[in-house]
Structure 1
Amino acid sequence: MSFSGLIVQLLNGLASASSLFLVAAGLSLIFGVTRIVNFAHGSFFMVGIYVAYTLADKLGGAGFWVALPLAAIAVGVLGAVIEVVLLRRIYKAPELFQLLATFALVLVIKDAVLWLWGPDELLGPRAPGLRGSVEILGRQFPAYDLFLIVIGPVVLGLVWLLLTRTRFGTLVRAATQDREMVSALGVNQAWLFTAVFALGALLAGLGGALQLPREPATLEMDLNTIGAAFVVVVVGGMGSLPGAYVAALLIAEIKALCIWLGVVEIAGIAISFSKLTLVVDFLVMAAVLVWRPWGLMGRPQAPSRYVGMQEEPLRRAGGSYVAAVGVLALVLAAMPVLTASSPYTTVLLIDLLIAALFAASLHFIMGPAGMHSFGHAAYFGLGAYGAALLARAAGLPMELTLVLAPVVAGLGALVYGWFAVRLSGVYLAMLTLAFAQITWAIVYQWDSFTGGSNGLTGVWPSEWLNDKRNYYWLTLVLVGGGLWWLRRVLFSPFGYALRAGRDSVLRADAIGIDVKRMQWAGFVVAGAVAGLAGGLFAYSKGSISPETLAVGRSVDGLVMVLLGGIQTLAGPVVGAFTFTWLHDMVARNTDYWRAMLGAIILILVLLFPQGIAGSIKQLADKWRERRDDEAADEAAQAPMQAAAAAGERAR
């Protein structure tokens, strides 16, 4: 550790902060005006670097400097087209379904890039005129990185001037504060949204294009970038561009310091600060949200006057519903016998059941409790690792570990939930994501205990479950029991208290309900059930890896819940079966399975804006209302018809 090394690392941090700020600035603008949590924003960053690579290759030489702005403009046009063709159609859908649509876009864009540019990494040319390096305190520093250090403040200044010195900027700032009022004043809200979305996509594309000389273009850049961008936006404050720049600087410089410190021995214990770079941004986000829930330079978000379709209260099932569930249970119990010639079907059914239990546990806090979680995989993973470690390290039998797995996950939810329930909306969702990433980093790096990146193998069920059919029936019983228990809890006084706190915190508090304590307990219940699903998953696969806790699994859970419908208890089960089956079927039949799966999800979102189960319920309710109206009309006309008949007889 030397002073010159510190200065060079801090300069590296400044260069990285500029690129990160460009992506975060666009994401902040889009969310501030449209209220869309745009999962596809990282895809715009990825497309930017790929388009810049192609343009720089075609133009050659000094054409590199022309390729960068052209790539950004191309991505801006792509963003405008996506907003007009897709997002404009779903602005009146619940906000979480807009998130589902942007996740589907991630899948479609990723495979489009794969088809156009192939799977290989593409390394761009060096920037003409900035190919070399400069000497700083005896160390060489890339000249192009100095250019990036300047770009960040320049773009911040230009966007600030646009937002504060033009009529367009005035409208954007007004829409950020109250978009419904802007529409009421006669502003064409649709085109304002399109312009803002295009500007946000352009900034993301520029951020990707500027990375061309620094790193190769890969297909993993979208999800890697969107996570970091979300952190910067939340830490800086939603809708605050200066806050985004300050947050990008803070996170980039802390990472640079961790790299500079390397391995440090404190009190005889070697601590690797360089490994903290995997999770330091999420540590910063968690700390900021606990201390200042609306970010460093943000302000508490005013509630939107439009919150999508009002959610109807959950109703107890009728006799026909109970009968249908009974028939379905009998069919599922008979499936291993009916499909004896296809052992893979039994394996797939186990995955479907586990996914249904995981999705139902997430729905428990998202629907009835009204708390949106982006990190529910943490409890799934804690249950999986808890069962695996108790079996391997403590030598406990499988049956006992399946009992203790929900306990381990519930304890994790007890700790994380205490912090999370103090927030709401997107801030709560991002804090749950931060906790999940912190848990993932611990598991990923604790080689001596969790197996690190290799995970744990040899996690096999008991001998009597060696036959997959027996394990399937055990899974069916436990999953059925878990779903039944969640349903009983939701229709208990505790469940009604959860829904009361969701619908009106003030009214619930006025009648003596401790809303935060109820939500905290709800977190523990949901975490414990997710832990049971994780334990079943570990034994079904025979091994466990850190990917079990990764962001991708949390996103999968969100997709399952939203695809099925958040308004019904059957929604998460329907969504889990649909998503898992589609994923398996599509992935086995085409190399471009992501695009096909994304297209199917988009179609379902457009056709069923309340989710599959929610839309079916909506149609059934309309049919029932029409039948009741017809019966009422017939009953009203009966006396008149009887009187007319009596008159005829009298004549």
Structure 2
Amino acid sequence: MGVSSFVVQLLNGLAGASSLFLVAAGLSLIFGVTRIVNFAHGSFFMVGIYLAYSLVGKFGASLGFWPALLLAAVITGVLGALVEMVLLRRIYKAPELFQLLATFALVLVIKDAALWIWGPEELLGPRAPGLAGSVDILGRNFPAYDLFLIVVGPLVLGALTLLLTRTRWGTLVRAATQDREMVSALGVNQAWLFTAVFALGALLAGLGGALQLPREPATLEMDLNTIGAAFVVVVVGGMGSIPGAYAAALLIAEIKAICIWLGVVELFGVSVSFSKLTLVVEFLVMAVVLVVRPWGLMGKAQANSRHTGLAEAPLRHPGRWFKLGGAALMAALVLLPWLTAGSPYLSVLMIDLMIAALFAASLHFIMGPAGMHSFGHAAYFGLGAYAAALLVRSAGIPMELALVLAPFAAAVGALIYGWFCVRLSGTYLAMLTLAFAQITWAICYQWDGFTGGSNGLTGVWPAAWLADKVNYYYLTLALVTGAVLLLRRVLFSPFGYALRAGRDSALRADAIGIDVKRMQWVGFIIAGGFAGLGGALFAFSKGSISPEALAVGKSVDGLVMVLLGGIQTLSGPVVGAVTFTWLHDTVARNTDYWRAMLGAIILLLVLLFPQGIAGSIKHLIDSWQERRRHRAAAAIHTTTKEQA
């Protein structure tokens, strides 16, 4: 822990900050103009490094290295422009979360395309010609290429600043950031402006990836790893602020560098491993910044778009045909194990489908009626699963009692996190939920003595009378059905109406005496408790639990389920959960490129059913009934006229 090692770690942080800034700057630029939370931005980073690897191999590592890196960035920018023109132009008027769903599907397609072209192996590029050596700094060797990266960040920041402040195009971009509809009303071709911004953002991400070629190997996991860090930088810096993104990248990278430099430190007789904090330090920073300054370091409240999708329709009690369909479905589910006795795997799959339906229904409870979008709902699913496992393994509590107590443990987590989260709204609320979820994941991932660390906990089996999967199937069916019906009942109670009032107009709800934040907090706790019940059922069905149960991927799966089914209907999350889980299982078992096929199916469903599957079916039924009423009214009018 000398001065020289401290200086070297700070320089490492500066180099990392420059690379992260390139990705975050493009993401911030795209969001500022198009208002799209581009989940596929990390994929452009991954494509950039893969293209750089191939082009350097083709042109040669000596003379062709630097042109190859620049060409890789340009090609990535062109790819971004094509994505914007072919896909995103069709969904600009859709709700923001459906845009997120489309870009998530794009991640799956691009990942499998990279797998098909470059294979699953890690690909390490050559060293940069002229910068392959090291520089002596205070008696320590420091890579010359990292010094080059330190300079790149400020240069790109300066170039973007000049582009946005000294050119007509930059003026239009800044105007679109404030009010893009007014820019269109003034005669600016909004479509091509969006395309140019998206291409520039993708080019910056591709450049960031290409510049990483001499530092780290190209892998298929770079997309999701990068997009998480980029989101954090953009939110901490302030959505749409390029200088804020650079300041946030510097802050986070330097804190990580200091944690590595500190290593293991004795504090009051306790060994604290600061190096382990590097897994979660950016989310700790984001949580603190959003609690203290909700708009980020240099951000401000974003103007609402005038085209945010269809208005939220009031939830309606299920009609007669819906009740009959539900009764028929329940009868089929009760008889299913007897009808499929020769296929035991189907019972296992149905248990997974029902648990997914409960998880999605609990998320929909706060997303739809309460209007709170969560990117970290898996935290409560995982808390319930770990609580059930620990109660059985460590406390020796019977499985039945653990199944009752686990949801309360998840609800306690939601109570603590929700107190902070409900004070924000929109994207900032979603990112704060993500931060808390990642903090929870890091604790479970690293606390080896309590949670089993990365290996998780095994031997979490149900009671003897539930050892038969058919018996466990019926227990899951009873609990999930009861939980979903109870959530529906709550939504049609005075509390549920208060939640919807706060979502539709917080000012009017407050004026009539509703404590909106308190209602949202209670809704957050209820949703967390039911997600915890799903997690407990999951743990006992699998016999084990690992940190993957509360990772970002699980939260994203929940979002996909809710949006795929339709956020404006009560049956939407159940339909979406069953569709997504069944597709995931079926496609994954029948092709090596299951991600691309699943992503293509999701994209197709998004384009064909912009209100979700259940939402679109409901819209068709309502339209058909409306036409019938019009025809009946016209017939009555004609008959009355003839009689007169």
Alignment of 1:342-491 (within 5 A): 342-491=343-492
Alignment of 1:504-523 (within 5 A): 504-523=505-524
How far the C-alpha of 1:570 sits from its partner, in A, is: 0.2
Counterpart residue number, 2:181: 180
Residues of 2 paired with 1:57 and 1:318: CA distance?
A: 64
2:54 corresponds to which letter in structure 1? T
1:355 corresponds to which letter in structure 2? A
Counterpart residue number, 1:290: 291
Alignment of 1:225-264 (within 5 A): 225-264=226-265
How far the C-alpha of 1:172 sits from its partner, in A, is: 0.5
Residues of 2 paired with 1:25 and 1:463: CA distance?
A: 56
Counterpart residue number, 1:8: 8
Moved more, 3-12 or 296-305: 296-305
Residues of 1 paired with 2:307 and 2:89: CA distance?
A: 15
TM-score (norm 1): 0.98
The answer on 1:28 being equivalent to 2:50 is no
Counterpart residue number, 2:164: 163
Alignment size in residue pairs:
643
- 1:260-285 Cα shifts (integer Å, max 9, x gaps): 00000011000000000000000000
Alignment of 1:499-578 (within 5 A): 499-578=500-579
TM-score (norm 2): 1.00
SS of equivalent to 2:309:
coil
1:31 corresponds to which letter in structure 2? F
1:169 corresponds to which letter in structure 2? G
RMSD: 0.5
How far the C-alpha of 1:304 sits from its partner, in A, is: 1.9
How far the C-alpha of 1:306 sits from its partner, in A, is: 2.1
Residues of 2 paired with 1:29 and 1:337: CA distance?
A: 56
Residues of 2 paired with 1:639 and 1:44: CA distance?
A: 66
Residues of 2 paired with 1:67 and 1:159: CA distance?
A: 22
Counterpart residue number, 1:308: 309
2:516 corresponds to which letter in structure 1? V
2:300 corresponds to which letter in structure 1? R
SS of equivalent to 2:590:
coil
How far the C-alpha of 1:641 sits from its partner, in A, is: 2.2
SS of equivalent to 2:219:
coil
Counterpart residue number, 1:647: none
How far the C-alpha of 1:305 sits from its partner, in A, is: 2.0
Counterpart residue number, 1:38: 38
Counterpart residue number, 1:47: 47
Counterpart residue number, 2:18: 18
2:84 corresponds to which letter in structure 1? E
How far the C-alpha of 1:302 sits from its partner, in A, is: 1.8
Residues of 2 paired with 1:336 and 1:34: CA distance?
A: 49
2:76 corresponds to which letter in structure 1? V
Counterpart residue number, 1:633: 634
Q: Which sections of structure 1, spanning at least 5 residues, go unmatched?
A: 644-651
Residues of 2 paired with 1:498 and 1:303: CA distance?
A: 21
Residues of 2 paired with 1:243 and 1:295: CA distance?
A: 8
The answer on 1:271 being equivalent to 2:272 is yes
SS of equivalent to 1:364:
helix
Residues of 2 paired with 1:641 and 1:461: CA distance?
A: 72
SS of equivalent to 1:423:
coil
Counterpart residue number, 1:646: none
Residues of 1 paired with 2:529 and 2:241: CA distance?
A: 37
Residues of 2 paired with 1:567 and 1:512: CA distance?
A: 26
How far the C-alpha of 1:311 sits from its partner, in A, is: 1.1
Residues of 2 paired with 1:452 and 1:95: CA distance?
A: 36
- 1:39-75 Cα shifts (integer Å, max 9, x gaps): 0000000000000000001111121010111000000
Q: Which sections of structure 2, spanning at least 5 residues, go unmatched?
A: none
How far the C-alpha of 1:307 sits from its partner, in A, is: 1.6
SS of equivalent to 1:303:
coil
SS of equivalent to 1:394:
coil
2:47 corresponds to which letter in structure 1? V
The answer on 1:146 being equivalent to 2:147 is yes
SS of equivalent to 1:234:
helix
SS of equivalent to 2:39:
coil
SS of equivalent to 1:264:
strand
Q: Percent identity?
A: 79
- 1:491-515 Cα shifts (integer Å, max 9, x gaps): 0000000000000000000000000
How far the C-alpha of 1:320 sits from its partner, in A, is: 1.5
How far the C-alpha of 1:223 sits from its partner, in A, is: 0.2
- 1:289-315 Cα shifts (integer Å, max 9, x gaps): 000000000111122222211111001
2:604 corresponds to which letter in structure 1? I
SS of equivalent to 2:136:
strand
SS of equivalent to 1:588:
helix
1:613 corresponds to which letter in structure 2? A
How far the C-alpha of 1:93 sits from its partner, in A, is: 1.1
How far the C-alpha of 1:133 sits from its partner, in A, is: 0.2
- 1:355-405 Cα shifts (integer Å, max 9, x gaps): 000000000000000000000000000000000000111111111111111
Counterpart residue number, 1:79: 80
Residues of 2 paired with 1:604 and 1:379: CA distance?
A: 28
How far the C-alpha of 1:323 sits from its partner, in A, is: 1.2
Residues of 1 paired with 2:334 and 2:259: CA distance?
A: 54
How far the C-alpha of 1:185 sits from its partner, in A, is: 1.0
Residues of 2 paired with 1:208 and 1:303: CA distance?
A: 32
Counterpart residue number, 2:225: 224
Residues of 2 paired with 1:339 and 1:93: CA distance?
A: 41
The answer on 1:131 being equivalent to 2:110 is no
